[in-house]
């Protein structure tokens, strides 16, 4: 896969974006023979099975994710109040 380059304004230099699950993405969307074989069988499974979507939604609703978003909200609110 092609690397994603962005300009970091804080560090004032170009950096490469980290892509999580890169190997899995290359396996599903790559151009190799093995990638085509896996994508032919696995892509319809991931796209057509609502259980995976429900599982991801459940993970997003769990307590650690809620705490993280609440913490972000509190920090943003305090910054805006002090501004």
Domain count, the chain: 2
Question: What backbone torsions phi and psi does residue 30 show, to the nearest 5 degrees?
Answer: -70, 180
Please state the pTM of the whole predicted model. Answer: 0.40
- Give the range of the structural domain holding residue 29, as residue numbers without chain letter: 1-48
Clarify whether residues 2 and 31 are in a common domain.
yes
| pLDDT given for residue 12 in this prediction | 92
Distance CA 25, CA 37 (A): 14
* Residue 13 token pair: 């230099």
Structure confidence at residue 61 as a pLDDT band (50, 70, 90)? confident
Clarify whether residues 42 and 2 are in a common domain.
yes
Clarify whether residues 40 and 59 are in a common domain.
no
* Residue 21 token pair: 């699950």
Clarify whether residues 1 and 39 are in a common domain.
yes
């Amino acid at each position: 896969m092609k690397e994603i380059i962005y300009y970091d304004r804080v560090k004032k230099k170009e950096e490469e974006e980290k892509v999580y699950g890169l190997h899995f993405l290359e396996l599903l969307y790559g151009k190799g023979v093995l990638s085509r074989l896996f994508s032919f069988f696995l892509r319809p499974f991931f796209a057509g099975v609502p259980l995976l979507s429900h599982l991801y939604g459940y993970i997003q609703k769990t307590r650690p994710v809620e705490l993280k978003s609440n913490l972000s909200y509190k920090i943003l609110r305090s910054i805006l109040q002090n501004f």
